[in-house]
Amino acid sequence: MKDSEITGCYRGRTLTFSYPSHVPVPQPVARYTYRGVGYETTAQGRVQPVSASPAAEVRQPVFQGIKSADSPMMQARRHLLMEASTAHRTNIQRSLDHRLSVAKAQGNDLLVQQLEAELHQLA
């Protein structure tokens, strides 16, 4: 325990604070990878690059090509995406048609022009 330079007063008496002296805490030694770059920590808490090893030099590519582009799973996924995209487009078309009919009923010519331009962009 070490006495600090900080003193205080408690109920009229001078009070000195003490704190434990610094005890070094050993750090875990481990290997980590951050965004594809390997590093390791030492027992002192320092960070250093990983030493080169033969196994580390043989790396697999991050993006490997799809082995079978026409697999049933890929075909089903492609079909599902196409179906969702057509449903989305149909909903946008329906919403625009409804907004256009409401704008015509209200006599808002500026909005009618904007919605017709949007319809031409969609087509």
For residue 98, tell me if it sits in a domain: yes
For residue 96, tell me if it sits in a domain: yes
* pLDDT for the residue numbered 98: 96
HEC string for 47-80: EEECCCCHHHHCCCCCCCCCCCCCCHHHHHHHHH
Q: pTM to 2 decimals?
A: 0.42
Reported as a single tens digit per residue, the pLDDT across 63-83 is: 555 555 678 888 888 899 999
* pLDDT for the residue numbered 18: 77
For residue 28, tell me if it sits in a domain: no
Q: Are 30 and 40 in contact (CB under 8 A)?
A: yes
Q: Both tokens of residue 96? A: 């625009």
**For the residues 88-97, what does the mean pLDDT come to?**
94
Count structural domains, the chain.
1
**For the residues 89-116, what does the mean pLDDT come to?**
95
Reported as a single tens digit per residue, the pLDDT across 3-53 is: 777 778 888 888 887 777 766 667 778 888 888 888 888 877 788 888 765
CA distances from 76 to 80, 87, 90, 109 (A): 6, 16, 21, 45
**Residue 115 class from Cβ within 10 Å (0-12 exposed, 13-18 middle, 19+ buried)?**
buried
For residue 14, tell me if it sits in a domain: no
For residue 64, tell me if it sits in a domain: no
* pLDDT for the residue numbered 53: 57
98 SS3 class? helix
* pLDDT for the residue numbered 117: 94
For residue 114, tell me if it sits in a domain: yes
